[in-house]
Structure 1
Amino acid sequence: MSNEQKKESPTDTVSYFFNVAAEQLGLSEEICQTLIKPYREITVEVPLRRNNGHLDLYTGYRVQHNGSRGPYKGGIRFHPTADIEDVRALAALMTWKTALADIPFGGAKGGVTCNALELEKDELERLTRIFTSKISLILGAQRDIPAPDMGTDAQVMAWMMDEYGKRHGHTPEIVTGKPIELGGSIGRNEATGHGTSVIIAEAIADFNLSFDKVVIQGFGNVGSHTALYLEQMGAKIIAISDYYGAIHNPNGLPIQQLFQYAAERRPLTDYSDADQISNQEILELECDLLIPAAIGGVITGENANRIQASAIFEAANSPTTISGEQVLADRGIPVFPDILVNAGGVIVSYFEWVQNIQQFRWDINRVDKEMKEMLIKAYKNVSEIHKSKGVSLRTAAFIVGVERVAKSTELRGYLT
């Protein structure tokens, strides 16, 4: 990896794409400085007594980036890469994502630097409760509403809701992505993957793309549900990957069977009727659609020249670096950006929040219908700007989101 690649941080990446959009919009330096910096950052110590008696000290974070359009909204990740730099960048990304989707939230992100896979269930619960208690003063159903992310799930959200409720009373709308039995929304668990398939369906028709050969890096919640929905649409998934490695079969993979592997936490490499390849090699396979659905920063200036996809759909957050994006643009490979592609999750989180406040549950038909309408509207806004202004799809998406946040910031009088 070059020195240039090493220096490119997640915050650098998000700030760069923001600045490109801000220049297109002609925003003043004053408002740019206001929009780019987070409103609040909190760092907490999270001591965890392990089952072996050892006391481990973890560090947790919550960054509230911008709340001019509504309460802060963003996931909680328990992952080794969840440091302040990562969380800060993802919080900003959430601001532009919620604005692009046109839902009444701002942007936030949180996390604990740990490997959730190494923790027993009771250890994970204790970690969650300690972290929640440390940040509870800045949370609130009308202030800051967490959701699941890497290393967290509906069960973790249930523990967070319960811990917060000990201090503030029963408040199901304090988190989204909860179990349905505790006020979660039907359709939320699969929403990000489902939404990814909705965007892909629109783009296939709009850009004359094919999905005869689809590659998905990552087979967690997002990647696995994306694969399921694409298979139902008639796509052939030829390669997928998880934490342990990747598998490839040019004739297609049995997604339903491998979805069960993921549910049972079995490595995909246990599947024998496919070639085993690395998580790097999967990105460089010849394919129609490449869908990064794992960690950020995987497509860089170093490997972008070896990408053989006709189009890239970012189901993960920030999988493409600045230099990677520039190489892909020079090669004419369209990149459909994360803040559009994976927005289905936060849209249905918004629906869950609304249902909790109203104490009235929607059925799956309403959830799916309204999610699709909002995603397609966002897609059309991005596509129109992309074509009319001749800018990249990412710049078009940022233009929509940044312009909305800038307007709400001005209307609130934050610049006076």
Structure 2
Amino acid sequence: MTSSNIYSGSPVFGMARQQFEQVADHLGIRSDERERVFMPKRVLAVSCPIHRDDGTVAVFQGYRVQHHLTLGPTKGGTRFAASLNVGEVAALAVWMSWKCGLVGLPYGGAKGGIAVDPRLLSPRELEALSRRYMQEMIPFIGPHVDVMAPDIGTNEKVMAWFMDTYSMYLGRTVSEVVTGKPVSAGGTAGRREATGRGVSYLIGRACEMIGLPIAGATAIIQGFGNVGSVAAASLADRGVRIIGVSDDSAAFFDERGLDIDDIVSHQARHGRLSDYKNATAIAPEQLLVQQCDILVPAAVERVVDSHNASHLKCRILAEGANGPTTPEADRILMERGDEIFVIPDILCNSGGVIVSYFEWVQGIQQLLWDEAEVMDRLYRTLERSFQAVLAKAKAERLTHRDAALAIGVARVLEAKRTRGLFP
């Protein structure tokens, strides 16, 4: 099966390709080098059968895409979502490569997951499916080959099951085979909050750049999962008024401000925002175009598109999700000039993989850091990357996205050129 057949029909993979080609043109990458730099090294598809609680057998489709292993093992999350497909997984793996290159981590990108709605599984079924998926992956992963992490639909508990399954196979504990584990199972303090806190930190830096006082600023968070909820709480602690939130079940808006602690508590009890009674509901598609200072798309891909990009009324677009803005929307935002300060996804949400790297290092060394040290290292890494993106954008007259991608792609390209082609 050719690569074009594998990914054909995936708008997310096509979007990743468009972004790469634009940056490749800027970098002057030869046409004969582009496929080697862009196309994934390895694509795995597995069937994951489990016994359901009613005694029947169900089979779920699982995937893992490893983009490149030139700089070290691949690294990336594992997503459990009903609509998951191999094109989406491949695009996310590619973006992870550029992200790791941008922030200077010795990783290639990877992504994986299962096409399933985890909310429709019992706790026992979820554990069975998680362990089966990891068992199918064992020949292709490892601490120095491919290191998994959580993503949409998975969490610390799933990572603990992954680690335990792999460790039982090897006959010894291998905590560094996955990151995002509970601290009690070899995880690191601050990992769960890392992506959301990173989003908040970079928003603070963007506010400084445009002269917007963060205390008293307003924000809308589209996607109230782990990233969005942590970012909302962190921003609220800094004096930001959160005026809108949403998940895949409901959206709420109140220009006077929402009670984030109450919303987080409701979500913890019910698993989603639907049926929340203490705020006014709004159509989800309308939430993105409400007046605010800070807009954080923190859910899924392609939510800022050609239809709504011209209607955004924010001053900062902080991309907590992967690929939330389409290339068509990027062109519209570029035409709007300096009206909106964009913090591109591979920078904005990089806190998770940065602290995952710290967790991996601690696991290998068997030397644990406290949360203060983890956060200090995280913010220093984000600051260095933020400054690099701004400097490149200014020097080469690029958008923030193209500047970030150019740094990430160039690092992978240089490494591949240096190592050469085998045999």
Question: Any residues of structure 2 matched to 1:242-321 within 5 Å, and which?
Answer: 242-321=247-326
1:221 matches 2:226: yes
AA partner of residue 362 (structure 1): W
Match of 1:157 among 159, 183, 195: 159
Match of 2:113 among 111, 114, 117: 111
1:376 matches 2:378: no
- 2-structure distance, mates of 1:96, 1:267: 32
8 Å Cα contact 1:240/1:246 also seen in 2: yes
Match of 1:178 among 176, 181, 184: 181
- 1-structure distance, mates of 2:244, 2:352: 24
Q: For residues 386 and 197 of structure 1, do their structure 2 counterparts lie closer, same or farther at Cα, with a shift above 3 Å needed? A: same
Q: In the alignment, what sits opposite 1:55?
A: 57
- 1-structure distance, mates of 2:373, 2:333: 38
Give 1:311 deviation, angstroms.
2.3
Q: String of CA shifts for 1:166-191, please: whole Å, max 9, x gaps.
A: 21232100000001001000000100
1:187 matches 2:182: no
Q: String of CA shifts for 1:274-294, please: whole Å, max 9, x gaps.
A: 210122111111111110011
Q: String of CA shifts for 1:55-85, please: whole Å, max 9, x gaps.
A: 2221100000011111000000000122101
Give 1:54 deviation, angstroms.
2.7
AA partner of residue 108 (structure 1): A
Q: In the alignment, what sits opposite 2:20?
A: 18
1:395 matches 2:402: yes
Give 1:269 deviation, angstroms.
4.1
Match of 2:335 among 327, 330, 336: 330
Give 1:25 deviation, angstroms.
1.4
- 1-structure distance, mates of 2:13, 2:399: 20
AA partner of residue 61 (structure 1): Y
Give 1:18 deviation, angstroms.
1.3
Match of 2:148 among 137, 146, 149: 146
- 2-structure distance, mates of 1:210, 1:294: 26
In terms of mean alpha carbon deviation, does 266-275 or 337-346 score higher? 266-275
Consecutive unaligned residues of structure 1, counting only runs of 5 or more, are 1-5
Q: For the aligned residues, what is the CA RMSD?
A: 1.5
AA partner of residue 133 (structure 1): Q
In terms of mean alpha carbon deviation, does 322-331 or 188-197 score higher? 322-331
8 Å Cα contact 1:31/1:415 also seen in 2: no
8 Å Cα contact 2:10/2:87 also seen in 1: no
Q: For residues 171 and 85 of structure 1, do their structure 2 counterparts lie closer, same or farther at Cα, with a shift above 3 Å needed? A: same
Q: In the alignment, what sits opposite 1:414?
A: 421
Give 1:415 deviation, angstroms.
7.5
Q: In the alignment, what sits opposite 2:83?
A: 81
- 1-structure distance, mates of 2:230, 2:246: 13
Give 1:236 deviation, angstroms.
0.8
- 2-structure distance, mates of 1:8, 1:206: 36
Q: For residues 415 and 305 of structure 1, do their structure 2 counterparts lie closer, same or farther at Cα, with a shift above 3 Å needed? A: farther
Consecutive unaligned residues of structure 2, counting only runs of 5 or more, are 1-7
Give 1:266 deviation, angstroms.
4.8
1:360 matches 2:367: yes
8 Å Cα contact 2:118/2:153 also seen in 1: yes
Identical-pair percentage: 39
- 1-structure distance, mates of 2:341, 2:329: 12
8 Å Cα contact 1:192/1:343 also seen in 2: yes
AA partner of residue 125 (structure 1): E
Per the normalisation by structure 2, the TM-score is 0.94
In terms of mean alpha carbon deviation, does 147-156 or 299-308 score higher? 299-308
Give 1:272 deviation, angstroms.
2.9
- 1-structure distance, mates of 2:266, 2:278: 14
Give 1:210 deviation, angstroms.
5.2
In terms of mean alpha carbon deviation, does 397-406 or 305-314 score higher? 305-314
- 2-structure distance, mates of 1:135, 1:308: 44
1:241 matches 2:246: yes
- 2-structure distance, mates of 1:237, 1:297: 23
SS at match of 1:308: coil
Give 1:331 deviation, angstroms.
2.3
Q: For residues 401 and 259 of structure 1, do their structure 2 counterparts lie closer, same or farther at Cα, with a shift above 3 Å needed? A: same
- 2-structure distance, mates of 1:209, 1:16: 33
- 1-structure distance, mates of 2:324, 2:279: 25
SS at match of 1:276: coil
Give 1:51 deviation, angstroms.
0.8
In terms of mean alpha carbon deviation, does 55-64 or 372-381 score higher? 55-64
Q: In the alignment, what sits opposite 2:4?
A: none
SS at match of 1:57: strand
Q: String of CA shifts for 1:8-65, please: whole Å, max 9, x gaps.
A: 7111111111122122111112221211110000101111221122322211000000
Q: In the alignment, what sits opposite 1:3?
A: none
8 Å Cα contact 1:328/1:334 also seen in 2: no
Give 1:267 deviation, angstroms.
3.8
